[in-house]
Amino acid sequence: MNKLIRVSYYIDGFNLYFGMRSKFPQLKWLDVNALCNNLLRPGEVLSECNYFTARVRNNPDKEKRQKTYLDALATTDTTMIYGKFYSKPIECRRCHNSWPGNEEKMTDVNIAVKILTDAMEDKYDKVVVISGDSDLTPPLRALKQYYKDKRIIVAFPPKRSSFELKNIADNSFTLGRKKLADSQLPLSLDNGKGYMLNKPQEWN
């Protein structure tokens, strides 16, 4: 009997979110664990679905929508790994005016560390990175150098791509509408504590 191929997914939450917002905004209520399962091929089994993100700040409406979504993901078999979200002034180089801005930190580092430590613990045979961030090229290069038996796949979010990632991967593709549409959370679901979580109206 052939041994099943263990597949682990590493999802860059913000990269995926902004890619979907730009092309499929009505599909942001995404069950990432279901997506991982829907992307499996015959002979493969899901080892782990890892979702990397940071909690937004300084915008109560966005904070509420994100909290609802993350609470919904927490009801699925998804490993959540958090970075930081910092306030950072943005300055116009031409007029030197500035305004409040935000910057996400640590996500690419967290993804890199998890990919390599999981390889050390032999948790997967195949790694799928869902991101278009070229900063993830060095850890994938290291993975290819030291773990030659591990296959590397990059799944680009809509309207996101990277030549560097595509070049280092054994294969790559862009997430299409059907896979995303087939992997939506229920419009309303119980958080496990008797509280109902509903898809934000702004995401319809």
- CATH for 22: 3.40.50.1010
Counted domains in the chain: 1
How far apart are the C-alpha atoms of 24 and 189, rounded to whole Å? 22
Q: Tell me: pLDDT of 25 over 60.
A: yes
Question: Which structural domain, as residue segments, surrounds residue 26?
Answer: 5-186
- Check residue 91 and give its pLDDT: 61
In a domain, 95, yes or no: yes
- Check residue 56 and give its pLDDT: 86
Distance of CA 15 to the CA centre of its chain: 7
What residue has token string 């970075």?
A: 83
Q: Tell me: pLDDT of 2 over 60.
A: yes
In a domain, 37, yes or no: yes
In a domain, 202, yes or no: no
Q: Is the pLDDT higher at 88 or at 125?
A: 125
Q: Give the pair of three-digit tokens for residue 110.
A: 């967290």
In a domain, 25, yes or no: yes
pLDDT tens, residue by residue, 68-92: 999 999 999 999 999 886 666 556 6
Percent of the chain with pLDDT over 70: 90
Query: CB–CB of 75/192 below 8 Å?
Result: yes
Q: Which residues contact 168 (CB under 8 A, 6 or more apart)?
A: 137, 140, 141, 144, 152, 154
In a domain, 197, yes or no: no
Q: Tell me: pLDDT of 116 over 90.
A: yes
How far apart are the C-alpha atoms of 111 and 136, rounded to whole Å? 8
Per DSSP, what are the bridge partners of residue 172?
A: 154
Reduced to 3 states (helix: H, G, I; strand: E, B; else coil), residue 104 is strand
